[in-house]
Structure 1
Amino acid sequence: MRENKYDDPDFFENYGQMPRSVGGLNAAGEWHVLQKMLPDFTGKNLLDLGCGFGWHCIYAKEQGADLVVGVDLSEKMLNIAKAKSEGLQIKYLQQAIEDIDFSKEEFDVVMSSLAFHYVKDFQSILQKINYCLKPGGTLVFSQEHPIFTARAEQDWIRNEKGEILHWPVDQYQEQGIRQTSFLGHTVVKYHRTLENIFNALIAAGFVIQQVSEPKPSKEAIAAWPEMEAENKRPIFLMIKAVKAGT
Structure 2
Amino acid sequence: MKQNIYDNDIFFNSYISMRKTGVTYNDFVEQPAIKSTISSLNGKTVLDLGCGNGQFSKYCVDNGALKVTSVDISKNMIELAKKENNHDKIDYICTPIEDLEVKNQKFDIIISSLMAHYIEDYTRLIEKIVSLLNTNGEFIFSTEHPIVTARKEMNNWIIDGDGNRLHWGLDNYQEEGKREEHWYIEGVVKYHRTISTLINTLINSGLVLEKIIEPQAIPIGLEKMPKLEDEKRRPSIIVIKARK
One-letter identity of the residue aligned with 2:78: L
Conserved? CA contact 1:105–1:131, under 8 Å: no
Secondary structure of the residue aligned to 1:16 is helix
Q: Does 1:204 align with 2:205?
A: yes
User: Paired residue for 2:121?
Assistant: 121
**RMSD of the TM alignment (CA)?**
1.7
132-141 or 103-112: bigger deviation = 103-112
Q: Aligned runs of 1:83-94 on 2, under 5 Å?
A: 83-94=83-94
192-201 or 77-86: bigger deviation = 77-86
User: Paired residue for 1:99?
Assistant: 99
TM-score, with normalisation over the residues of structure 2? Answer: 0.93
Q: Does 1:142 align with 2:134?
A: no
Unaligned runs of 5+ in 1: none
Q: Aligned runs of 1:9-158 on 2, under 5 Å?
A: 9-18=9-18, 20-23=19-22, 27-103=27-103, 106-155=106-155, 156-158=157-159
C-alpha deviation, 1:104, in angstroms: 5.5
143-152 or 176-185: bigger deviation = 176-185
Structure 2 Cα separation of the partners of residues 104 and 75 of structure 1: 25
User: Paired residue for 1:232?
Assistant: 233
C-alpha deviation, 1:87, in angstroms: 4.0
Conserved? CA contact 2:152–2:172, under 8 Å: no
One-letter identity of the residue aligned with 1:239: I
One-letter identity of the residue aligned with 1:64: G
Structure 1 Cα separation of the partners of residues 198 and 104 of structure 2: 24
Equivalent pairs counted in the alignment come to 242
C-alpha deviation, 1:153, in angstroms: 2.6
Structure 2 Cα separation of the partners of residues 113 and 185 of structure 1: 22
63-72 or 88-97: bigger deviation = 88-97
199-208 or 96-105: bigger deviation = 96-105
Secondary structure of the residue aligned to 1:10 is helix
Conserved? CA contact 1:11–1:185, under 8 Å: no
Secondary structure of the residue aligned to 1:239 is strand
User: Paired residue for 1:159?
Assistant: 160
Secondary structure of the residue aligned to 1:76 is helix
C-alpha deviation, 1:33, in angstroms: 2.2
Q: Kindly provide the CA deviation profile for residues 146-175 of structure 1, in whole angstroms up to 9, marking residues without a partner as x.
A: 000001333311111112111111000000
User: Paired residue for 2:222?
Assistant: 221
Relative distance call for 1:79 and 1:105 in structure 2 (3 A) is: closer
Conserved? CA contact 1:150–1:170, under 8 Å: yes
User: Paired residue for 1:177?
Assistant: 178
Structure 1 Cα separation of the partners of residues 79 and 95 of structure 2: 14
77-86 or 39-48: bigger deviation = 77-86
C-alpha deviation, 1:230, in angstroms: 2.4
One-letter identity of the residue aligned with 1:85: N
Conserved? CA contact 2:23–2:221, under 8 Å: no
Unaligned runs of 5+ in 2: none
C-alpha deviation, 1:34, in angstroms: 1.9
Secondary structure of the residue aligned to 1:102 is coil
One-letter identity of the residue aligned with 1:71: V
Structure 2 Cα separation of the partners of residues 167 and 104 of structure 1: 47
Structure 1 Cα separation of the partners of residues 104 and 130 of structure 2: 9
Secondary structure of the residue aligned to 2:140 is strand
Conserved? CA contact 1:175–1:192, under 8 Å: yes
Q: Kindly provide the CA deviation profile for residues 9-39 of structure 1, in whole angstroms up to 9, marking residues without a partner as x.
A: 1111111122x44328972422222211012
